[in-house]
Structure 1
Amino acid sequence: MKIRYDDYYDIKNLKERMQTNEIVLLKGQKYDTLVGKDLQLKINSSVGLSDESELENEEDKILKIAYFDTLPDTMMDLSIVSTRRPLYELIQKEIGCPVGTVPIYICFNNKEGIDKNKFLEEIEKQAQSGIAFMTLHFTAIDEIYRKTINRNVAVISRGGSLVLRDLYINKRKQNILLEYFDDICKILKKYSVVVSVGTTFRPSTLYDALDEIQLDEIRMQKDIVNALREKGITAMMEGVGHISLRELEKYVKLIREEFYVPFMPLGPIPTDRAIGWDHVSTAIGASYMAMLDGADIINAVTREEHTGGIPTINSIYEAIKSAQVVVNTINDVRFFQKYNKMQNNKKNNCMGILKDDIGCDRCKEECPFLLNRMLR
């Protein structure tokens, strides 16, 4: 199996860090992806079906992504409706990267909430199909939710909100993920599925960032990570949302305290005033967070993130390419000497495309490379 992009690790060190869960291996059909400490930054991209009428359109996106000049290291199927052939199967076949899902999306019913048997069956079905990781929102608990009354926006997480709605619909003493924790873990361990511990209470405005609610959730997420590890389950962790650049260093210190867990930020979105330009704002936030060593895999966020629109294939490409700029920038920092040697013989700008002593279309005869030629 081919492992993507990681040329700069020591095998012995890699094995040790996998044993301590500082690095996770996400398995795909055509290539695996390593995520974690001291590795290159990775990219996750997402597709998803919101209505059966859009099935052909979403399938077409996957087929086109497979031919992008930059492929994501992982992908997520965020579908909220079931189909005979799930999108994650098409991703596995056509792209072959590790695939993640949020199984709660498929199992929620507006009137009845979540049926335990259907939920466990869906988890096992997806695990059997080769899903690499699942996002589960264990932190969707009433104790934290009741504190959100003073927030600008109480909850922005779709998965977390569904777990909470089910909690109230079925009058559970604790949410379904905690109630059937052991059953879920047995399935995940059997099929070696990695858990991405989701964030229910990530802030959706800068003014909610690092409030008591988010701090409570970070502590609970870490407890869940430890509980999963004790069960023999490999874990990652999600976080952030909207947070200003000035708060990011504090946030990274909080998530890195006590132990290292591979981390996938949602965003971070460092401004509330970039609607329609989320691929840009996320690139800024992700770059800074990764510089602080707070990110191991970033999301390719599209410009539709806050518009309610369905991402087009063009905006997905734009998002992946924007994320790749972040990855290149960070990896140039993390592995500068290695990259410097690799790039010595590459020309990554116009580099004096001289024709008859005339430079590029912009500079013409004033091209600085005319001088460079003279010096040579």
Structure 2
Amino acid sequence: MIYTTQMDAAKKGIITKQMEIVAAKEGMVVETLRELVAQGKVVIPANKNHTSLDPEGVGEGLRTKINVNLGVSKDCPNIEVELEKVQTALDMKAEAIMDLSSFGKTEEFRKRLIEMSPAMIGTVPVYDALGFYDKELSEITSEEFLQVVQKHAEDGVDFVTIHAGINKETAEVFKRNKRLTNIVSRGGSLMYAWMELNQKENPFFEHYDELLDICEKYDLTLSLGDACRPGSIHDATDASQIKELMILGELTLRAWERNVQVIIEGPGHMAINEIAANMTLEKKLCHGAPFYVLGPIVTDVAPGYDHITSAIGGAIAASHGADFLCYVTPAEHLRLPNLEDMKEGIIASKIAAHAGDIAKNIKGAREWDYQMSTARQQLNWERMFELAIDPEKARRYRQESMPEHEDSCTMCGKMCSMRNMNKIMEGKNLNILREDE
């Protein structure tokens, strides 16, 4: 039977090769996965032209996935440096990489990235439009914006961020409800500026059906961007954010009618006590579509440590239903991240994702921790390193400060609670000040 997209196949009762791979990775019955894809509650971003892809699922009942942002910019245009980051991100098992390139040899970088990456690839086509056409923002036409999406789809991109929810209606709500940090989404601010400069409707909203034509042809997953995501905890859960979310819910239903897979993007900066309610709102207003969050960053006062502020918010978000975490690095708000920043951001996001999976009772999540606790009880250092989320760092820390007695560490030495309890529980004598007899 012929099908156009993963969702189309799922609705027709067809189990695709990609569904089989994802079900095996998740330990899920493939028929259950097919039903979730048919309902739009799970997406499998898998562009027909991304031949190196090892597919992953994002959504209800699956492990929380993480995304790594990379790409060349005007100030940092070196493709080879970014490709080194790509390889490291792949080695660290990131499930997705977003190419946010905005200057220089963007097409070359994108094609090389797609060719080498088994991880799903995302882009924000509006970033690429100015360099692609060598035009100022106001001079780009609606048709040209869509042509850039078409080009990214042809190249094999698996999902695209499209800020279609910042339409005239949303813009009026934004104007009436003053914000401290206005519109902080880069793509969202560009679309808002284009609308204001040209006094026209958002081209992605006005020509949404044409956008869906492209997505359906290539099985390009639509990641509906949150132009009005809060850029400060002051602006969180305000009228602009919620109004746009309502529009995104309507656009989701229109996409599903065309069998186009949809992810919803979310905040942003947000106080801890608002996160759970925001996850519930998204799932309700957007009909259970997978939710993709940036953080949320839970305080605005920690530049240089925003991998931590975002991991706190990400863990809470994931535990309350977020499906996909966009990593944040220590360099957030300060500069383009370097390789070490990227590594720290990935590890922080993976910790947050796993913590959320434990709370959601995702299959196998607690078992990982059980195995680590067992290794600690046994003082089995090699097994601990094998199970660690960052084995390299764990091993290095121990090697930098080796204890006198290898069944302990330099924090406690022979006062180690695990060591001493093991001896007592086994009926053995305990010598702390002297050598064991």
User: What's 1:282 paired with?
Assistant: 310
Select between 266-275 and 335-344 the one with higher mean Cα deviation: 335-344
Q: In the alignment, is the contact (CA less than 8 A) between 2:405 and 2:413 conserved in 1?
A: no
Q: In the alignment, is the contact (CA less than 8 A) between 1:26 and 1:133 conserved in 2?
A: yes
Task: Determine which structure has the larger strand proportion and give its number.
Answer: 1
Deviations 1:118-155, CA, capped at 9 Å, x for gaps: 33332222112221100000122233334435211111
How many residues of Structure 1 are paired with residues of Structure 2 in the alignment? 371
TM-score, structure 2 as length reference = 0.78
Give secondary structure in 2 for the equivalent of 1:316: helix
Give secondary structure in 2 for the equivalent of 1:32: coil
Q: Residue 235 in 1 paired to residue 284 in 2?
A: no
Quickly say closer, same or farther: Cα 1:221–1:344, change in 2 above 3 A: closer
User: What's 2:68 paired with?
Assistant: 45
1:197 to 221, 224, 228: 224
User: What's 1:304 paired with?
Assistant: 331
User: What's 1:66 paired with?
Assistant: 90
Q: In the alignment, is the contact (CA less than 8 A) between 2:64 and 2:357 conserved in 1?
A: yes
Quickly say closer, same or farther: Cα 1:337–1:41, change in 2 above 3 A: closer
Give 1 or 2 for the bigger CA radius of gyration: 2
Give secondary structure in 2 for the equivalent of 1:257: helix
**Quick one: which amino acid aligns to residue 94 of structure 2?**
P
Q: Residue 369 in 1 paired to residue 418 in 2?
A: yes
Task: State the Cα distance separating 1:345 from its structure 2 match.
Answer: 5.2
In the TM superposition, 1:321-332 aligns within 5 A as 321-332=347-358
Q: In the alignment, is the contact (CA less than 8 A) between 1:62 and 1:94 conserved in 2?
A: no
**Quick one: which amino acid aligns to residue 83 of structure 2?**
E
Quickly say closer, same or farther: Cα 1:330–1:253, change in 2 above 3 A: closer
Select between 347-356 and 231-240 the one with higher mean Cα deviation: 347-356
Q: Residue 103 in 1 paired to residue 125 in 2?
A: yes
Quickly say closer, same or farther: Cα 1:4–1:47, change in 2 above 3 A: farther
Quickly say closer, same or farther: Cα 1:351–1:326, change in 2 above 3 A: farther
User: What's 2:100 paired with?
Assistant: 78
Task: Determine which structure has the larger helix proportion and give its number.
Answer: 2
Q: Residue 153 in 1 paired to residue 175 in 2?
A: no
Select between 229-238 and 111-120 the one with higher mean Cα deviation: 111-120
Q: In the alignment, is the contact (CA less than 8 A) between 2:145 and 2:203 conserved in 1?
A: no
Q: In the alignment, is the contact (CA less than 8 A) between 2:26 and 2:363 conserved in 1?
A: no
Unaligned runs of at least 5 residues, structure 1? none
Give secondary structure in 1 for the equivalent of 2:295: strand
Q: In the alignment, is the contact (CA less than 8 A) between 1:113 and 1:169 conserved in 2?
A: no
Quickly say closer, same or farther: Cα 1:49–1:183, change in 2 above 3 A: same
Give secondary structure in 2 for the equivalent of 1:40: coil
- In 1, the alpha carbon distance for the partners of 2:365 and 2:282 equals 29
Provide runs of 4+ in structure 1 moved above 4 Å.
Answer: 339-351, 353-358
Q: In the alignment, is the contact (CA less than 8 A) between 2:23 and 2:30 conserved in 1?
A: no
In the TM superposition, 1:1-376 aligns within 5 A as 2-3=21-22, 6-27=25-46, 29-51=52-74, 53-67=77-91, 70-83=92-105, 85-108=107-130, 109-110=135-136, 112-149=138-175, 150-172=178-200, 174-257=201-284, 259-293=287-321, 295-307=322-334, 309-335=335-361, 338-341=364-367, 346=372, 349=376, 351-352=378-379, 359-374=408-423, 375-376=425-426
- In 2, the alpha carbon distance for the partners of 1:128 and 1:56 equals 23
Quickly say closer, same or farther: Cα 1:137–1:363, change in 2 above 3 A: same
- In 1, the alpha carbon distance for the partners of 2:237 and 2:106 equals 42
- In 2, the alpha carbon distance for the partners of 1:179 and 1:336 equals 39
Indicate the RMSD between aligned Cα atoms, in angstroms.
2.4
Quickly say closer, same or farther: Cα 1:364–1:157, change in 2 above 3 A: same
Deviations 1:264-295, CA, capped at 9 Å, x for gaps: 012211111122211001111111111112x0
Quickly say closer, same or farther: Cα 1:94–1:217, change in 2 above 3 A: same
Unaligned runs of at least 5 residues, structure 2? 1-17, 382-402, 427-437
Deviations 1:48-95, CA, capped at 9 Å, x for gaps: 21127333322232233333xx22111100011252643333332333
Give secondary structure in 1 for the equivalent of 2:40: coil
Task: State the Cα distance separating 1:365 from its structure 2 match.
Answer: 2.1
Quickly say closer, same or farther: Cα 1:125–1:299, change in 2 above 3 A: same
**Quick one: which amino acid aligns to residue 355 of structure 2?**
T
- In 2, the alpha carbon distance for the partners of 1:310 and 1:341 equals 37
**Quick one: which amino acid aligns to residue 342 of structure 2?**
I
Quickly say closer, same or farther: Cα 1:240–1:66, change in 2 above 3 A: closer
Quickly say closer, same or farther: Cα 1:129–1:233, change in 2 above 3 A: same
